[in-house]
Amino acid sequence: MSILVFIEITEGTIKKSSLEAISYGAQLGDVTAIAFGEISVEELAKAGLSGASKVLHVSDEKYHLGNVQAYSSAISEAMESIGADTLVLSKSSLGDPISARVAIKQGASLASNVIELPDTSDGFTVKTSIYTGKAFAITKLTEDKKVISIKKNAIGIKEDGNAATVESFTPSSTDTDFKAKITSQNKTTGEILLPEADLVVSGGRGLKGPENWGMIEELATTLGAATGCSKPVSDMDWRPHHEHVGQTGIKVAPSLYIAVGISGAIQHLAGVNSSKYIVVVNKDPEAPFFKAADYGIVGDAFEVIPKLTEAIKAIS
């Protein structure tokens, strides 16, 4: 198979989730990656470590902000120009619309939320996460062309390849591609992105107010974790919406999810059930979250969390 992998850039480096997509693609065939925006050639060449032989870089300034239609047209054009039959990308707020548009442009079968390598014993069959992590679907992709959108933190990253060659790529854009105008962008910088974090510390209403988030942040910083929250917390504006973990918020799949003062409503659990390990700290021994946890502590978060932070500092 000839594969194009769309890679996303964050603060001048390739996103971890995009390295997962390259690693996935490299196990299926020859991988060319495509990247947009501000990033150095040296950083792009690192795509090779995960298995890309070549990286196409679209550096034109008008592609810097992540315009979905323009990216989709450019990616489809790149697939034609290298003769790729498959697009692989990581499922994200940018990956979702791009996967859909490219699938239509290419007449491709699309699979979203793929969690493991395909079964190719009879055609091309993939396993996807459905019902917000509560089940899986096994689906055969029937077209010759395919678009595969993989779930974050589901695929291990390969790091044993050689540096990739980097070529610049100039798509033939049209005005239609830029009909939707991004007028401003407001992103936190220097923080670990919640959707792709390997460790997450989340706080709930049990923390009583936004002024008490210091200890959550300190624990997260000590661990190198991202911070999250429950829906009521984001609804009350204690924390921004992009930290809301749950059924109608961000779905996370970290190695470790630490929930502090969150009771564990089923809608919250839907956002965390792909975590490998869950720790629950709650003063209510009847909190339903304990049933979904691997480790639990019944206790006052205001006492337990600072002690936990100290204990982690002591071993690191």
Question: In 27-129, which ranges are continuous DSSP H helix?
Answer: 41-45, 68-82, 95-106
Query: For residues 227 and 165, what is the distance between their CA atoms, to the nearest angstrom?
Result: 36
Question: Residue 304 interacts with other proteins (CB under 8 A)?
Answer: yes
Q: Residue 181 burial by CB count (10 A; 0-12/13-18/19+): exposed, middle or buried?
A: exposed
Sign of CA dihedral 58, 196, 91, 128: positive
Query: For residues 247 and 234, what is the distance between their CA atoms, to the nearest angstrom?
Result: 13
Residues 281-300 that bind other proteins (CB under 8 A): 290-300
**Of residues 155 and 258, the one with the C-beta less far from other proteins:** 258
CA nearest 234: which of 199, 257, 267?
A: 267
Q: Are 49 and 159 in contact (CB under 8 A)?
A: yes
Residues 16-45 that bind other proteins (CB under 8 A): none
Of 112, 202, 227, 263, the one binding other proteins by CB under 8 A: 112
Question: Residue 130 interacts with other proteins (CB under 8 A)?
Answer: yes
Of 33, 39, 199, 233, the one binding other proteins by CB under 8 A: 199
**Of residues 46 and 101, the one with the C-beta less far from other proteins:** 101
Question: Residue 181 interacts with other proteins (CB under 8 A)?
Answer: yes
**Of residues 1 and 298, the one with the C-beta less far from other proteins:** 298
Residues 71-90 that bind other proteins (CB under 8 A): 72
CB of 215 to other proteins, least distance (A): 13
**Of residues 208 and 291, the one with the C-beta less far from other proteins:** 291
Question: Residue 221 interacts with other proteins (CB under 8 A)?
Answer: no
Question: Residue 248 interacts with other proteins (CB under 8 A)?
Answer: yes
Using CA atoms, how far residue 289 sits from 103, 208, 264, in Å, is: 39, 18, 4
**Of residues 28 and 305, the one with the C-beta less far from other proteins:** 305
CB of 205 to other proteins, least distance (A): 17
What single DSSP character describes residue 132? G
Residues 151-180 that bind other proteins (CB under 8 A): 176, 179-180
Question: Residue 256 interacts with other proteins (CB under 8 A)?
Answer: yes
User: Quick one: angle between helices 301-315 and 214-223, nearest 10?
Assistant: 20
CB of 193 to other proteins, least distance (A): 5
What single DSSP character describes residue 119? B
Query: For residues 68 and 281, what is the distance between their CA atoms, to the nearest angstrom?
Result: 40
**Of residues 165 and 210, the one with the C-beta less far from other proteins:** 210
The window from 30-38, 55-63, 107-115, 153-161 that contacts other proteins (CB under 8 A) reads 107-115
Distance of CA 215 to the CA centre of its chain: 26
